[in-house]
Chains A and B, each alone.
Chain A
Amino acid sequence: MGVSQIDLARLQFAATSIYHFLFVPVTIGLAFLVAILQTAWHRRGDEDYLRLTRFFGTLLLINVAVGVVTGLVQEFQFGMAWSSYSRFVGDVFGAPLAIEGLAAFFLESTFLGLWIFGWGRLPKGVHLATIWLVALGTVLSAAFIMAANSWMQHPVGYQINAQSGRAQLTSIWAVLTNPLFLWAYGHVLLAALVTGGALMLAVSAWHLRRRSDAPAFRKTARIALLVLVPATFLAMIVGSELGVSGDHYQPMKIAAGEALWNTAQPASFTLFQIGGYTATDPTPSFAIKVPHLLSVLATNSWNGKVVGMNAIQAQYQQRYGPGDYRPNVFIAFWSIRGMAYLAGLVFLLALWGVWLLRRKTIEQSTWFLRLAVWAVLIPFLMNTLGWILTENGRQPWIVQGLQLTRNGVSPTVSATVLGLSIAVFVLLYGAMALVDAVLMIRFARRPLGPTPQLDEHDVPVPAMSY
């Protein structure tokens, strides 16, 4: 079992997960926003909302197609490339995945089919309920996946079976109320709203700048901004609380995220630094620091103590034996900052948009509309950085404190085979990304469709179909 086999298995999992998670937040965020649009049509009878529902609904469908199939790869991959991990944790980790399928994914997929094909065939109220059930399915789905992931970050509700040496579930309730899970789940849902909101804003801004269907896209710009402002703000707050929780349960992750080698009290927050990312070069040659801020962020108190990596490393060596228990510090440091700084940008942009809305000059502000289009890229970057922070910060563990990543890999899958499958996925995912991007952009630029004729009689009607 060479080093390269583990590296390749990690590369494959990281790449396919990041890719999958480009689509997941769009699905969650946009399903909710489309449900809002359809509800607005249902309540007010304004046909603009119906046309907007169909328009953003189609963007949702293009996105869901890729999200679903890449999710299959994730489910298979635990067993395929990480069989030792699967044997070790299956008793605990498999349950939330199976419950996800049963309670959430069936709901999402079945009702999405009903929603697409139910136009004009289902009574209006029932049809509206189907999109809300899709939205509920996406949110439930994320809950079980996050519960499973949070267990890897902070294992709870288990015991190690003395005979088999494997983790065994003792309380599903503990797994579903893992404090780390509750914060991480909230953070992911808010990030999904930010992503969906930014996408809706970008599409609306593009059309507003060209004065195409302005009255309708003004409505979605408004909805997107009203979602973005609170969602971005709360995502930052919840993210920070997740940090506090993380400092408690995964202190090494937080210490690495701050490049904090030595314990500090009070601890200052470093905005930027040059050097200082490795044990051999622990002191940055240049740094901008804000006093007390890290204490506040990590412990919620002005003079809180934040333990440094050196102390934790010594403690872990005592507990787990010799080894390096520090993740890559540079990645940890910049993923946390990249995420936070970019969130700040999105928040400012959203505030600017709300101010323009109030002054009713949003359609004249070419600069805002132009920036709002490009800003759609930021949430994807933030989501990716968030997962890099979470997963890199847990290293060298695959399950914090219980199993090292290098011990989780499949012993029978060679580096050659892994290399081949990576090549296959790179080609396939690359082609799919290209097609998806072209379709999304092409569709997003089309004018709104006419009001569809929907009658509820059981006669052939041009329903939404493939």
Chain B
Amino acid sequence: MSLAILWFIVLALLWCGFLFLEGFDFGVGMLHDFVGANDLERRVAINTIGPVWDGNEVWLIVAGAGMFAAFPEWYATMFSGFYVALVLLLVALIIRGVSFEFRAQLDNAGWHWLWDAAMTLGSFLIPLLVGVALGNLVRGVPIDAHHEYTGTFFTLLNPYSLFVGLTVLLLCLVHGATFLALKTKGPVQDRAEQVGGWLAPVAALFVIGFAIWTPAMAGHAARAVVPVVAALAALAAVWFIRVRRNGWAFLATAVAMLATGATIFVFLYPHVMVSSTNAAYSLTVSNASSSSYTLKVMTVVTAIFFPIVLIYQGWTFYVFRRRIDVGDVQGGSAGGQAPEAATPGASPAG
């Protein structure tokens, strides 16, 4: 196996890891307003991902930088070609990224509303845009002989890619719901189970559609086993949510998410970007990659650091394994300076 192929796999793993980990972060971000009837409950929801979301987002950063290092052509073509979409993605990442810390700094209902809205909007937009971008890689976009993208922003908004975007978005919602059900107690958990129950069948339908559409469009019937796994896992999630097996439900949405991400890369290979202009102009694992020396350096560095990262990230999840409820967030904000007046709101509606 050439190093370029190895790096294609590493990048696929990074993207899948990002979808799996940030997937529930986005879900929590979208749902926190819904599962929390008052400020304390919303904070419970946010704090389930509080210690980990920033570390989870680094998977995206490393995936991007890894593309730059291992496949400069891919990085250059995709990032310049998808310019407008990426500006939108950055705006979403920014407003959501600052919302966690900014929200906690002022105890004011209007202020909380503003940053709850930013968190929700950002958490919606990111998986949608990422899904659309990944869909376009497989579907193909106009690329000329010089590896330059010749389409516009609206070229990206084709039916298949929008469908992938919605599939990823729905999966993030369900994944977030199963995560919340697993990590909280009381009314927040109840509502998370409820919303998961509503959304899981819809998400499963989309994943099934994705599992049919992708091989139908891209060929490679044998590779369809991966999206079939995704569809089965999505169906399993429907069942486990219904019987309220929180752990199994989360595992099922995790597998569905991982397999959906993997589908993109399995059907993409040996390309990294398909040209719809002319198949000969497509970017491939071999024509877009860095020199073997660079790949060798990157491989050594990754072999050393990646296991260490996995260990300490895993340890973080272990440290914060406990379910939380309003008792945990009462009287302490990120500042921890002046305990806010802990006044649980009226009885939770719903």
Contacts and interface: CB of A to CB of B under 8 A. Distances in A.
A432 B294 CA distance: 38
A128 to B, nearest CB: 15
Given A113-B316, A117-B320, A466 B101 contact: yes
A465 B50 contact: yes
A169 B149 contact: no
B83 A421 contact: yes
A178 B206 CA distance: 52
B212 interface: no
Interface string A408-433: 00111100010011001000100010
A83 B80 contact: yes
A288 interface: no
A107 B313 CA distance: 9
Which of A66, A94, A105, A424 is packed against the most chain B CB atoms within 10 Å? A94
Interface in A72-123: 72-73, 75-76, 78-81, 83-84, 86-87, 89-95, 97-103, 105-107, 109-114, 116-119, 121-122
B109 interface: no
Interface stretch (A182-190, A197-205, A220-228, A444-452): A444-452
Interface string B141-156: 0000001111000000
**Which range holds the interface residue count of chain A?**
35 or more
Given A97-B65, A105-B62, A462 B339 contact: yes
B336 A464 contact: yes
A80 B80 contact: yes
B97 A168 contact: no
B51 A86 contact: no
Contacts of B93: 69, 72
B312 to A, nearest CB: 6
Interface string B140-175: 000000011110000000000000000000000000
Given A72-B94, A75-B61, A410-B80, A95 B336 contact: no
B336 A412 contact: no
Contacts of B222: none
Interface string B77-109: 111110110110011011101101111111000
A90 B147 CA distance: 15
B223 interface: no
B284 interface: no
Interface residues of B, number: 84
B77 A449 contact: no
B80 A413 contact: yes
A116 B72 contact: no
Interface stretch (B237-245, B251-259, B325-333): B325-333
Given A72-B61, A101-B62, A465-B329, A58 B72 contact: no
Contacts of B1: none
A87 B61 contact: no
B64 A90 contact: no
B341 interface: no
B58 interface: yes
6 contacts: A68-B54, A78-B79, A110-B309, A116-B51, A169-B291, A462-B339
Given A81-B83, A113-B52, A417-B83, 15 more contacts: A55-B337, A72-B90, A78-B75, A79-B78, A80-B83, A89-B72, A98-B298, A106-B55, A107-B309, A117-B50, A117-B51, A168-B291, A411-B148, A464-B335, A465-B334
Across the A-B interface, give the 8 residue pairs with the lowest CB-CB distance, nearest first.
A90-B72, A79-B79, A94-B69, A449-B337, A462-B332, A94-B68, A83-B80, A65-B101
Interface of A: 54-55, 58, 61-62, 64-66, 68-70, 72-73, 75-76, 78-81, 83-84, 86-87, 89-95, 97-103, 105-107, 109-114, 116-119, 121-122, 161, 168-170, 172, 410-413, 417, 420-421, 424, 428, 432, 435, 439, 442-443, 446, 448-449, 452, 458, 460-466
Interface of B: 43, 46-47, 50-55, 57-58, 61-62, 64-73, 75-81, 83-84, 86-87, 90-91, 93-95, 97-98, 100-106, 147-150, 290-291, 293-294, 297-298, 301-302, 305-306, 309, 312-313, 316, 319-320, 322, 324-325, 327-339
